[in-house]
Structure 1
Amino acid sequence: MTNPTPHPIADEPDPSSRTELFQTRDIEQARQWGTRTFCENELRNIDVRGELNASLLYRKYGSIGIGRMSYGGEVTIRPSTFDDFYLVQVPLSGVERITHGNETITSTPTVGSILNARQQHEIIHGAGTEKLILRIDRDLVERLCGQHLGNGAQAKVEFEPAMPLDSASGRRWASTMRWLFDYLDGTQSSSALLTAQIEHMIGSLLLISQTSNHSEALNEDRSRSVTPAFIRKAELFIEERAHEPITVGNIAEHVGVSVSSIYAGFRKYRNTSPMHLLKSIRLNRVREQLLRSEPKSTTVTAVAYRWGFAHLGHFTTDYKRWFGESPGETLAR
């Protein structure tokens, strides 16, 4: 039998939306499409008598990607340390053993897993195992965490690696992954607004569904008091209009309260100001655009001006403080 070559089933011109299907019986081809879709990896067939039949249906949508995959036989995967994303895995059948440092978890249809960014893992994928996987950008998760905490800056997030899927929150997360996989079936393109809303929903649900180093603060923030509706409405207005020259007066007028109420509300319930939130959103939008752009096709100055930063010196200082690197270094990645 001739080994089929991995191939995309959709050549989507928009790089933020792509569907790919791979199927192969060749372990090197399987390793290559793992590298192409996720990161560099070592892949070894444990049971040489078993038959490898690797398959992946993967759909990329903005800052997230959802897929269904299996290797058929028993294999060991050692992905390289990845900095840019988290990988969430929900087994549909079979079993995996995932090791990080001295900790090993056994992942089954009742126990999912999260591979954290900046960590080294080894995965033993059992024969007959099939799983849903979600790749979600680290920048998205950390930006949303900062927004929920109200500090206006990205917060480094480290999740517990084991995700109970038989709890209420685990069942909700697993059903959301199944919904997302089905929803993106055949989706070729979408509006930027809808993409942002789906990213926000998935990232926020992950933060409240899975234990992390910020769970206590996130839970305290939700239980501290009920946030007035005008604050949430103002945040949505700022998020959607970040590309426009909006003022606190515009925000107050939109939500129907005074300017002083806007300032007082953000200070009490978010521990920040509306303009600080706007700056953080714009800085994150700049970073997202720089990461997607080629140095030959754009400049830092052009992107900064696009998002309302007229003073490049102040912009560069703020950017370095937010992200730990210069905007030029981000563009050069």
Structure 2
Amino acid sequence: MLCANDLRVTSAASSLNAKFFYRKIGNIGVGRMSYGGEITIQPAVFEDFFLIQIPIRGFEKISLGKDKILCTPKEIGIINPYVKSVINHQPDTEKLVIRIDKKLVEKNCQQILNRTLNKNIEFDPTMSVDTKAGTQWLRMVSWISNFVSDEDDISPLMVSQIENNLVNMLLNYQPNTYSQEIHNDSVSIAPSFVKKVEYYIQENVEKPISINDLAEFSGVSARSLFNGFKKYRNTTPMHFLKEIRLQRAYDDLKNASLGSDKVTTIAFKWGFNHLGHFSTDYKHRFGETPYETLSR
């Protein structure tokens, strides 16, 4: 329904009695599900969506790489793209699930920041409903769930409003990799030389680029450029360049056919001349090695 997964009945005393409701509207999906008994689910790594789990009753134990979280009616679980997950669904557990397309979250984040993103959006994996923010977000999700369950025909305008309200509330309320910038009013008024360099990097990312090249293009000193990026983008010009190149390498590997030299060729194409460092940075960014991306 959401993606390919490996589902196993964990306990001999358990039986599968699955009940599902799921509806996709626009770039989000809303579902309600239970399995009856104790089930272990190992989904494929999400590439293009976030999955939010909200138990109505019962609980789930979720492994996210090396981290483990407990998902309860008081603690919402969030699974980010590129993270390997294993979900242990306990008996008599029922949950709401919200699937949000990655591109929708990225688009709304870019609109808030008024710039191109240079790293993946990753949310903290749990949200407490006992906080004011958690209570308001849960109220929004409950309303959306009831609305899409009852309405047969939802207008495009209403779909757009639901998408934007849900995602913007999540970006503003749930700690994530862009929270500092989202809540920093100075981000939207970055000086023109910062925006100019961002555009230059996007357009020339495949070419050799040094900090001196960027300083010369921007018309300010390297130090001023570094300080501008640090203040308004919370990064450095060269790190911004590296993040863009990693994303281009990922896109190439995802679409490439298998071949022993493909990783090396693509790494060199995007300026990564040390394969060990490239693999380490790549896995940190995408949660898998370049060879794993190529093999899928």
TM-score, with normalisation over the residues of structure 1? 0.56
Q: Which runs of 5+ in 2 are unaligned?
A: 200-243, 256-296
Q: Distance in 1 between matches of 2:149 and 2:111?
A: 30
AA aligned opposite 1:59: R
Q: Equivalences for 1:301-316 in 2 at 5 Å? A: none
AA aligned opposite 2:17: N
Return the match for 1:127 from 82, 91, 100.
91
Q: Distance in 2 between matches of 1:192 and 1:153?
A: 27
Q: Percent identity among equivalent residues?
A: 36
1:105 aligns with 2:69: yes
For residue 126 of structure 2, what is the aligned residue in structure 1?
Answer: 162
Change (3 A) 1:61 1:154: farther
Q: Distance in 2 between matches of 1:185 and 1:46?
A: 31
CA contact 2:144–2:162 (8 Å) conserved in 1: no
CA contact 2:9–2:15 (8 Å) conserved in 1: no
Q: Which runs of 5+ in 1 are unaligned?
A: 1-36, 228-265, 277-319
CA contact 1:143–1:153 (8 Å) conserved in 2: no
AA aligned opposite 1:65: G
CA contact 1:159–1:213 (8 Å) conserved in 2: yes
For residue 182 of structure 2, what is the aligned residue in structure 1?
Answer: 218
Give, in angstroms, the shift of residue 152 of structure 1. 4.3
Structure possessing the higher relative contact order (Cα contacts under 8 Å, 6 or more residues apart): 2
Q: Equivalences for 1:1-333 in 2 at 5 Å? A: 37-153=1-117, 156-221=120-185, 324=248
Change (3 A) 1:42 1:152: same
CA contact 1:65–1:136 (8 Å) conserved in 2: yes
Q: Distance in 2 between matches of 1:184 and 1:111?
A: 23
Q: Distance in 2 between matches of 1:137 and 1:54?
A: 25
Q: Distance in 1 between matches of 2:168 and 2:190?
A: 22
Q: Distance in 2 between matches of 1:155 and 1:65?
A: 24
Give, in angstroms, the shift of residue 58 of structure 1. 1.0
Alpha-carbon RMSD across the aligned residues, in angstroms, is 2.7
Give, in angstroms, the shift of residue 131 of structure 1. 0.8
Give, in angstroms, the shift of residue 100 of structure 1. 1.2
1:286-317 alpha-carbon deviations (Å, 9 max, x no partner): xxxxxxxxxxxxxxxxxxxxxxxxxxxxxxxx
1:205-240 alpha-carbon deviations (Å, 9 max, x no partner): 11112111111111123xx59x9xxxxxxxxxxxxx
CA contact 1:144–1:154 (8 Å) conserved in 2: no
1:306-333 alpha-carbon deviations (Å, 9 max, x no partner): xxxxxxxxxxxxxx99x8459xx7xxxx
CA contact 1:91–1:132 (8 Å) conserved in 2: yes
CA contact 1:146–1:154 (8 Å) conserved in 2: no
Query: What secondary structure is seen at the aligned counterpart in 2 of 1:53?
Result: strand
AA aligned opposite 2:101: D
